[in-house]
Amino acid sequence: MFISLCRSCGTPAAAVMSFTYDGAEVWLDDLSAPPEVGGGIELCSRHADTRTAPLGWTLTDRRRASDRHLFIPLESANVA
């Protein structure tokens, strides 16, 4: 089984960020969503939740609310 990893930190990915320069738009989608043209950048929940769009761009979070915190870093889970 293949597990997608976050491009920023290497933890399991929970979202895909895609964008278009022409429309100045950024989208966050569930991993199961069909990829936008040109693919996307896989991110963990933490990096997807803190992502911002460049000045003048629009960020649209299209993830289902139930999937937004599917994976959390161990340091946030209070694991002893």
pLDDT for residue 3: 81
Full residue range of the structural domain in which residue 31 is found: 15-70
- Residue 1: inside a domain: no
pLDDT for residue 75: 54
Q: What is the largest CA-CA distance in the chain?
A: 47
Residue with tokens 């992502």: 51
pLDDT for residue 31: 86
Query: Over its length of 80 residues, how does the chain's per-residue pLDDT go in tens digits?
Result: 578 899 999 999 999 999 999 999 999 999 876 666 667 899 999 999 999 999 999 999 999 875 555 555 555 555 44
Model's pTM, two decimal places?
0.72
Q: Which amino acid is at 15?
A: A
> Which residues are CB-neighbours of 32 under 8 A, at least 6 positions away?
none
Choose among 6, 2, 25, 3: nearest CA to 72.
Answer: 6
- Residue 7: inside a domain: no
- Residue 80: inside a domain: no
Q: Report how many domains make up the chain.
A: 1
- Residue 31: inside a domain: yes
pLDDT for residue 73: 52
